A and B are shown apart, each in its own frame.
Chain A
Amino acid sequence: MSLTTSVPTNTSVAPDAAALAPARPRARRRVGSIVVRVLLPLAVFGVIIGAWYAVSELVLNPQQRFMLPPPHEVLKVGVLDGQNFSDMMSALGTTCKVTFAGLGISIVLGVSAAVLMSQAKWIENSLYPWAVVLQTLPVLALTPVFSFFWGFALTPRVIVCVIISFFPIVSNTLFGLQSAERSMHDLFTLHRAGRLTRLWKLLLPAALPMMFAGFRVAAGLSVIGAIVGEYYFKQGDPGLGTNLSVFTSRLEGERLWATVLTASLLGVAVFVFFGWLSRRVVGRWYQSNRS
């Protein structure tokens, strides 16, 4: 009897309690995540700008100030000046072209090489060491060789970009392809799945999270690769790297720093894009899989 009478009161209380109880910590967590994700980076940004001013105004004397002009000068001369801005945008366009060409080629070659290596141990053993060697090549020391074969314009820039961004794609993709568990392989073995089926339905989907992690690292590196390439191969359309070298030689500190920051923003943008793409493609099963 007492049980049946207690049930209605319980159920009438329960919805309110259920609605309130989890809501509070969740709201607190949301506020907490705004603080962590927005305010803290902004605070660090403030510290960096402050330190920049300090170095520029207090540490450097006026004759040295061209090395690190204060932020507002960089903004005024490097970005807000119409001619300088449009020069920089066209350089950014060129750098984007080299970056995307290099990254695209890296992804195609890197994934293909990793897929090939995943198919047989002997292929992996023969190719992988050379991927490592490619990564450790002192690219800058090779610039004369590149210009000997490919001149001084866009082609060698793209090649530098590929060499710099290739390795993380190969190694991550290969690692990802090898990450499928033995018991999952057993499922495919039991049903006599062919190589292609196994690759398409097991290895590649299992590799996707690692592949995207590799693409993300490679994306950042490909921007660096493009800029390093432009720094040395100056024929053809000037890119951000070309301008860096020009502004350095002319001691134009404001435009130099504006270009450095633009280059880094480009790197961040490509990095963020691949993070977004990765969440779109594998986020539904991968992120939540880890938590």
Chain B
Amino acid sequence: MTVSTSAALSFDRVSKRFKDGTVALTDTTLAVSPGEFVSVVGPSGCGKSTLLRIASGLDQATAGTAEVASAQVGYVFQDATLLPWRSVSANVGLFAELDHLDRAERERRVADAIALVGLGGFEKHLPHELSGGMRMRTSLARSLVLDPDVFLFDEPFGALDEITRERLNDELLRMFAVRGFTALFVTHSVAEAVFLSTRVVVMSGRPGRVIADVPVPFAYPRSPDLRYTPEYAALCGDVSRYLRNAS
């Protein structure tokens, strides 16, 4: 098998057929080593999100196995999914609360996470009082609180405008540098995938499977200006070509 045993996150010939007969994934094999940042791009409906749901245990694979070598998995959803009746700090503390961390520890971690995502001063605000970007930061902070080794990102910045998205991409890389987690990042933006990742995986249209695996050679920390270099543009072009063949 190509799946290495030391992987932080691995899918071995995973298939998923939903009750209504839709086949979302066929024979998907993918391994993410500790410390890697892997992005998955693919046409809509190719089962990218299903991959994450299976990894996190929210869904079961119909065939094959998915393994996560970590007790603590962070999951960042497509939309911020904040509880509208909770303040920013209460939302950020939710997972810590559900995992029964004691109050002092919880408050310390919440304060750290809020500082890390740059939401200081907004602790008492309610979600509807925040911009889309700030809501997403809150959602990131909520996952950061438990300091997970593995992060699953399900198109977290898809609904944001380009400026906010690029800023959050820069900050996500900063967090990646500070916390050193392993990431599996689903997106349909090729630019975002190449900018963030150590590796970009391209999936075919439904039923999804891996059709290309493109290493991204740029060293970290990555400057925002990387986006305007010819090498970056060339790599984006490569990934886009695979993607065109995919659908």
Bound complex: CA A268 to CA B83 (Å) = 33
A192 to B57, CA, bound (A): 11
Q: Does A48 belong to the interface (CB within 8 Å)?
A: no
Q: How many A-B residue pairs have CB under 8 A?
A: 52
Cβ contact within 8 Å between B126 and A285 = yes
- Asked if residues A285 and B85 are in contact (CB atoms below 8 Å), the reply is yes
Q: How far is the CA of A158 from the CA of B94 in the complex (A)?
A: 42
Q: Assuming the A-B contacts A188-B98, A190-B56, A288-B128, are A183 and B77 also in contact, with contact meaning beta carbons closer than 8 angstroms in the complex?
A: yes
Q: A285-B128, A289-B128 are in contact. Are A184 and B83 (CB under 8 A)?
A: yes
Q: Is the pair A289, B84 in contact by a Cβ cutoff of 8 Å?
A: yes
Q: In the docked arrangement, what's the CA distance between A282 and B126, Å?
A: 12
Considering only CB atoms and an 8 Å cut-off, how many residues of chain B contact the other chain?
Answer: 21
Q: Chain B 75-99, CB within 8 Å of chain A: the 1/0 string?
A: 1011101011100000000110111
Q: How far is the CA of A29 from the CA of B78 in the complex (A)?
A: 38
Q: Which residues in A have their C-beta under 8 angstroms from that of B99?
A: 191
Q: Is the CB of A191 within 8 A of B98?
A: yes
CA distance A261 to B129 in the complex (A): 43
B104 within 8 A of A: no
Q: Could you tell me the distance between the alpha carbons of A40 and B56 in the complex, rounded to whole angstroms?
A: 57
How near does chain B come to A186, taking the closest CB pair, in angstroms? 6
Q: Is the CB of A285 within 8 A of B84?
A: yes
* B81 proximity list for chain A (CB < 8 A): 181, 183-184, 186-187
B234 proximal to A (CB < 8 A): no
CB of B231, distance to nearest CB on chain A (Å): 36
Contacts of B128 in A (CB 8 A): 285, 288-289
Q: Which residues of A contact B75 (CB under 8 A)?
A: 186, 190
B94 partner residues in chain A, CB cutoff 8 A: 187, 201
Q: What 1/0 flags go to A247-281 for Cβ under 8 Å of B?
A: 00000000000000000000000000000000000
Q: Which of B57, B78, B98, B127 has the most CB of A within 10 A?
A: B98
**Does B58 lie within 8 Å of A190, measured CB to CB?**
yes
CB distance from B124 to the nearest CB of A (A): 11
**Cα distance A256–B85 when bound, in Å?**
47
A205–B77 touching, CB < 8 Å = no
The answer to the question of A284 belonging to the interface, with a C-beta cut-off of 8 Å to chain B, is: yes
Tell me, in angstroms, the Cα distance from A189 to B58 when the chains sit together: 7
Cβ-based interface call for A86 (8 A)? no
Q: Which of A182-229 contact B (CB under 8 A)?
A: 183-184, 186-193, 197, 201-202, 205-206, 208
Nearest CB on B from A280, distance (A): 13
> In the complex, how many angstroms separate the beta carbon of A288 from the nearest chain B beta carbon?
5
Q: Considering only CB atoms, which chain B residue lies closest to A281 in the complex?
A: B85
- Whether B77 pairs with A186 at a CB distance below 8 angstroms is yes
- Report the minimum CB–CB distance from B54 to chain A (whole Å): 13
Interface string of B27-50 (1 = CB under 8 A from A): 000000000000000000000000
Q: Which 10 A-B pairs have the closest CB atoms?
A: A191-B98, A183-B81, A285-B85, A205-B85, A285-B84, A289-B128, A193-B98, A285-B126, A183-B77, A288-B128
A to B CB contacts below 8 Å, 6 in the list: A189-B58, A201-B94, A201-B98, A206-B83, A285-B84, A285-B127
Starting from the known contacts A183-B78, A206-B85, A208-B85, 14 additional A-B residue pairs (CB-CB under 8 Å) come to A183-B77, A187-B77, A187-B81, A189-B58, A190-B57, A190-B58, A190-B73, A192-B98, A201-B97, A202-B83, A284-B126, A285-B126, A286-B84, A288-B128
